[in-house]
Amino acid sequence: MNTDHPFYRHFEKVYGSRWPGLFAALQTREQQVARVNAWSPSDKSTKSWSQFPEKSELPGCHWLTPAHGCQPERNSDELLDIYIMDPASVMVARALDVQPGDRLLDMCAAPGGKSLVMIESFGGEGEIFCNDLSPERRERLKKVIQQYVPREVRNRVWVTGKDGVQFGLKEPGSFDRVLLDAPCSGERHILENQAAQDEWSPRRTEHLAARQYSLLAAAFLAVKVGGRIVYSTCSISPAENDDVVRKLLKKKKSAVKLLEAPVGVGGERTELGVAYMPDQCGFGPLYFAVIEKVE
């Protein structure tokens, strides 16, 4: 992509002198980690550690090891031992602060990396609805749950295929925690794909922002009073990030409260949330904000 491309010029205006470095970082390979499956027997975990001894320094993420070339392997209990993912995704799922017994909704769940973190957190009595509109991606999601979650826990995991907006209308005030990991521009993927670059225009990000807001408004309706929503994207576009959250705060006024999103190593504060950007930390991009429904 040359520097005259509308994509380049658009984000040059947004990021100013930071843009050339961020643009370069978006084109380098995404750093991922191998997250050890909590239900994996300990000898398997030990094997993973010794095979990949450089433990991640991310606080509170002692399950993470760098993913260089490591592949999931099946345990004797038929579960896979590691899930390869962006470390910032773990932070996003943990920002939900899931409590034992919670009723959870992962509104846009496939392929399921964040669902796995949520399922591990909800303890013996909770349940989770892992939803995704795309039938193909839902198949992948079902497979991931089958591969990583033991049967007795899977009994409390429901995979559904609704348009996320439906949860607001059909199940108001039903969930303790809602994760909305919204469909977004995903600029890293645009830069990998010539056709996506050819189609890109600023209207695309505006169109996505409108869809994201509808989903966030539905998440607001679906969560219980006192419950929590985490809104996230893998976009660098402020229109899809802080602007979407700002619109909810403006429209719902005293019914919502913005909570302080936890910042891990490599994260940076935006006006309303936290972002992990590849020019700063090597992983991401990933943005999230934490919202509580207060009335």
CA dihedral 13→19→23→29, nearest 10 degrees, is: -140
72 is a contact residue toward ligand SAM (CB under 6 A): no
Pairwise CA distance, residues 233 & 129, whole Å: 19
Residue 267 interacts with ligand SAM (CB under 6 A): yes or no: no
Q: Is 188 in the site for ligand SAM (CB under 6 A)?
A: no
Torsion of CA 276, 68, 138, 231, to 10 degrees: -10
Ramachandran sector of residue 265 (left: φ over 0; alpha: ψ -120 to 50; beta: rest): beta
Closer residue to ligand SAM (CB): 73 or 163: 163
| Binding of residue 181 to ligand SAM (CB under 6 A) | yes
Q: Does 110 bind ligand SAM (CB under 6 A)?
A: yes
The dihedral sign for the CA sequence 57, 61, 63, 67? negative
What φ, ψ does residue 292 adopt, rounded to 5°?
-110, 140
For ligand SAM, the closer of residues 164 and 273 by Cβ is 164
Q: Which of 35, 44, 114, 293 binds ligand SAM (CB under 6 A)?
A: 114
Name the nearest CA neighbour of 33 among 6, 63, 74: 63
Cβ count near 205 (within 10 Å): 22
Residue 130 Cα to chain centre, angstroms: 13
Distance, CA of 257 to CA of 254 (rounded, Å): 7
Among 25, 58, 95, 109, interactor with ligand SAM by CB under 6 A = 109
Nearer of residues 69 and 135 to ligand SAM, judged by Cβ: 135
Tokens found for residue 130: 């892992």
What 3-state DSSP class applies to 244? helix
- Taking the C-alpha atoms of residue 137 and residue 108, their distance in angstroms, rounded to an integer, is 10
Query: Is 234 one of the annotated active-site residues of the chain?
Result: yes
Tell me the closest approach of the beta carbon of residue 152 to ligand SAM, in angstroms. 23
Binding residue for ligand SAM, selected from 137, 224, 247, 257, defined by CB under 6 A? 137
Closest contact distance (angstroms) between CB of 126 and ligand SAM is: 18
Binding of residue 268 to ligand SAM (CB under 6 A): no
Which residue among 37, 56, 89, 241 contacts ligand SAM (CB under 6 A)?
89
295 scored as a contact of ligand SAM (CB under 6 A): no
Segment contacting ligand SAM by CB under 6 A, of 44-52, 57-65, 103-111, 247-255 = 103-111
Residue with tokens 């429904």: 293
Residue 58 burial (CB count, 10 A):
20
Other CB atoms closer than 10 Å to residue 59's CB: what's the count?
A: 10
User: Reduced to 3 states, what is the DSSP secondary structure of residue 80?
Assistant: strand
Which is the catalytic residue, given 108, 184, 234, 281? 234
Instruction: Mark 139-168 with x for binding to ligand SAM (rule: CB under 6 A) and - for no binding.
Output: ------------------------xx----
How many chain residues touch ligand SAM (CB under 6 A)? Answer: 18
Interaction of residue 202 with ligand SAM, rule CB under 6 A: no
Position of minimal CB gap to ligand SAM: 108
Assess 133 for contact with ligand SAM (CB under 6 A): yes
Q: Which residues make up the interface to ligand SAM (CB under 6 A)?
A: 89, 107-114, 131-134, 137, 163-164, 181, 183
- Active-site amino acid positions: 234
